[in-house]
Amino acid sequence: MKSSKFWILRNRYIKLKYFRPKHFIQLASKALEIISAGKFQKFWWAMKKYVIYGWDYFKPKKRPKTDYEKWIEKNEKLNKKEIEKEIEGFGYKPKISIITPVYNVDPKWLNKCVESVRNQFYKNWELCLHDDASTKKETIECLEKWKKKGDARIKISFGKENQHISGASNEALKLATGEFVALLDNDDELSPDALYENVKLLNEYPEADFIYSDEDKIKMDGRRVDPFFKPDWSREFFLTTMYTCHLGIYRKSIVDEINGFRKGFEGSQDYDLVLRFIEKVDHKRIFHISKILYHWRKIEGSTAQKTNSKNYAYIAGKKALVDYLERNNISGNVEDGISPGAFRIKRNLKNHPLVSIIIPTKDKIDYLRPCVLSIVKKTDYPNVEIIIIDTGSREKATYDFYDEIKNDEKIKIIDYQKSEFNFAEANNWAAQKVKGKYLLFLNNDTEVINADWLTSMMEYAQLKDVGVVGSKLLFPNNTIQHMGVVIGLRGGASHAGICFPEWQFMGFPFLHAKDVVRDVSSVTAACLLIRKKIFDKVNGFNEKFKIAFNDTDLCLKVKKLGYKIIYTPYAKLIHHESVSFGRPYDDPRRSNDLFEKERRIFNSKWKISEDYHDPFYNVNLTTRNENLSLKI
């Protein structure tokens, strides 16, 4: 009986009759709000819901956890006692000076900032706070309170005149006596293990001059969002954006050598500092910690809130980059990048050596024709030859097209007849038939989009330390097909970010990745540019890889010689994919068997396992698929 609808309604009526004051006030307040807005129908609906379901109906629903919150739960289980015991055993315990310029910050955030330093597991630190002539009385009072607390590690100075952030940072730097300096904004927070993780790395690599970590943002209510999981050191990526940012720890002797922060670069004073810093260090001494050690406060108007909220910072960053080019005799211009807040260095070409574009094909004229004609009609690079390798075409339409283009001096058609198609073998064979100093391997199912595609690739291929350059490839529906290959993805190697919309900004956790020049471990041979001398030096493509992994194997061989593999988004092509040659066998099960066989050979050769770490892909991102989601 008590479970009947009548009995439930009876109980609701009694509860309503003897309403508790707290609930009555809350409900009455809500009722008046609804009635005053003229929404009588909504009021009666709400009252009906209360009678039927009770007060619980109006309680806020529990928000489901985000993927990042799940990641935090899984990965940030810190054991203070164990960490402190480990710290006791460190043979090297350098002092770290934390540099924090202060100006008119809300005491609430400044207190949280200071407390985050005081809560560090690693205790050999000093916090160097310099007030830049704050006009808010409460900011000064907050600093005075910290000064009175008597912690000798907290050093505070007060400026009489406002010097802006560069001058204030230098004043804070004058207080520093540590072997390393770290930069902390006056409203941000460090994770409690931040300094411990850095000193742990220094005990393993005491030669480190510059260490940076991953970071996230912290909202006004304390919720953490927008994790930025960064790659290991990539000079080219850094020359497009200050991606290392927080937490950065720098050897103080080098910071002193370059005279700290420069005035005139306010807003990007840290970017300018690091651009000058990296000129003084061996890049092998730059280390990355793949952990979130810094929480950047999202306050209205801060750069943490919006990428474009401080336009002066972007202008200062561009100025710092122009200075970098001049100091290093790099011929080129700094332009706005594709992504908001990112830059592009448009390098000048020293000369225009011959590039041999090698296109293997077998019929598929509906793809070959637009591929070849787009190169001929759109390419602004002046010195190319197009080598079409015919691997057994039979259709009349194909040969009609060959007749159509045979009089073009830049195009050469070569027959390559084999009973079984081998992509690596065909390209190796063609590479010995060409005249170019550079080889561009191109699939016949690609189509050029922008005229300066090859020029953009040559900007980097001409650099002495670059071995291979790859392009941005798009599916016909304008989504990403290729923005670099990640080793270890899907149990071998695959394209991260596949099917991501080209028109959409790529934010966290892999900020800017599709739209900036950066180091990668491999690129696809669907569009791959390499110097012929380097190609010959590594003996070209490994012919054991008939249909797969030949490009990734080539890139790893080139990388092993000390050359860099570069991805540029400024060479854009459409790639239809999987139509170039059909499958090597009619039976898809047999082709999959061949793929799996080649994957096993590749993994064995390069020791690819589940815990393999691609340096240009963060360990906190999934390797189960290509969608750049978190590993949870």
3-state secondary structure 582-612: CCCCCCHHHHHHHHHHHHHHHHHHHCCCCCC
What value does the mean pLDDT take over residues 42-56? 60
Please give the structure tokens belonging to residue 395. Answer: 């259709």
What value does the mean pLDDT take over residues 432-451? 96
**Residues with Cβ within 8 Å of residue 447, at least 6 apart in sequence:** 370, 371, 374, 573, 574
Please give the structure tokens belonging to residue 288. Answer: 């990355």
Please give the structure tokens belonging to residue 21. Answer: 């004051």
CA distance 353 to 65: 55
pLDDT value at 517 more than 90: yes
- Check residue 222 and give left, alpha or beta (phi > 0: left; psi -120 to 50: alpha): left
Give the long-range contacts of residues 62-69, CB within 8 A, separation 24 or more: 66/225, 67/629, 67/630, 67/632, 68/216, 68/224, 68/225, 68/227, 68/630, 69/224
pLDDT range class, residue 13, cuts 50, 70, 90: low
Tens digits of residue pLDDT in 332-353: 999 999 988 999 999 999 999 9
DSSP code for 63: P
Q: Residue 513: which of 490, 539, 495 has the closest Cα?
A: 495
Tens digits of residue pLDDT in 552-579: 999 999 999 999 999 999 999 999 975 4
The position carrying tokens 């637009």 is 370
The position carrying tokens 């015991």 is 85
Q: What is the largest CA-CA distance in the chain?
A: 97
Helix (H, G, I), strand (E, B) or coil at 323: helix
Tens digits of residue pLDDT in 117-154: 999 999 999 999 999 999 999 999 999 999 999 899 99
How many percent of the chain have pLDDT more than 90? 70
- Residue ranges of domains in the chain, CATH in brackets: 5-58 (no CATH), 79-304 (3.90.550.10), 355-606 (3.90.550.10)
At 528, phi and psi to the nearest 5? -135, 125
DSSP code for 556: H
What value does the mean pLDDT take over residues 281-296? 97
State the average pLDDT for the chain.
89
CA distance 22 to 7: 25
pLDDT value at 253 more than 90: yes
* β-strands 96-102, 180-183 pairing: parallel
Tens digits of residue pLDDT in 361-412: 988 899 999 999 999 999 999 999 999 999 888 889 999 998 999 889 999 9
What value does the mean pLDDT take over residues 271-276? 98
3-state secondary structure 350-399: CCCCCEEEEEEECCCHHHHHHHHHHHHHHCCCCCEEEEEEECCCCCHHHH
Amino acid at 150: G
pLDDT range class, residue 305, cuts 50, 70, 90: very low
**Residues with Cβ within 8 Å of residue 505, at least 6 apart in sequence:** 339, 340
> Could you check whether the bond before residue 190 is cis, i.e. omega within 30 degrees of 0?
no
The position carrying tokens 């079409």 is 388
Beta bridge mates, 415? 390
pLDDT range class, residue 17, cuts 50, 70, 90: low
How many percent of the chain have pLDDT more than 70? 86
CA distance 386 to 313: 45
CA distance 546 to 594: 9
Please give the structure tokens belonging to residue 605. Answer: 């050769």
- Check residue 229 and give left, alpha or beta (phi > 0: left; psi -120 to 50: alpha): beta
Give all strands (DSSP E) within 382-523, no chain letters: 384-390, 411-415, 438-442, 446-448, 466-474, 480-482, 485-487, 493-495, 518-520
Query: 558-589 burial, b if ≥16 CB within 10 A, otherwise e?
Result: bbeeebbbbbbbbbbbbbbbeebbeeeeeeee
Amino acid at 47: M
The answer to whether 253 and 212 are in contact (CB under 8 A) is no
What value does the mean pLDDT take over residues 229-247? 96
Helix (H, G, I), strand (E, B) or coil at 227: strand
DSSP codes, 239-278: TTS--S-SSEEEEHHHHHHTTSPPTT-TTSHHHHHHHHHT
3-state secondary structure 70-107: HHHHHHCCCCHHHHHHHHHCCCCCCCEEEEEEECCCCH
The answer to whether 234 and 519 are in contact (CB under 8 A) is yes
- Compare 205 and 505 and report the one with higher pLDDT: 205
Amino acid at 246: H
How many CA within 13 A on the CB side of residue 226? 18
What value does the mean pLDDT take over residues 229-246? 96
Tens digits of residue pLDDT in 621-630: 998 888 888 9
Please give the structure tokens belonging to residue 251. Answer: 């050897």
Tens digits of residue pLDDT in 444-453: 999 999 999 9
DSSP code for 58: G
Window from 127-131, 243-247, 315-319, 397-401 with minimum mean pLDDT: 397-401
CA distance 248 to 243: 11
What value does the mean pLDDT take over residues 233-255? 96
The answer to whether 565 and 483 are in contact (CB under 8 A) is no
User: How many Cβ atoms from other residues are within 10 Å of residue 550's Cβ?
Assistant: 25
Beta bridge mates, 385? 356
Please give the structure tokens belonging to residue 180. Answer: 């390393």
The answer to whether 250 and 180 are in contact (CB under 8 A) is yes
Window from 13-27, 102-116, 219-233 with minimum mean pLDDT: 13-27
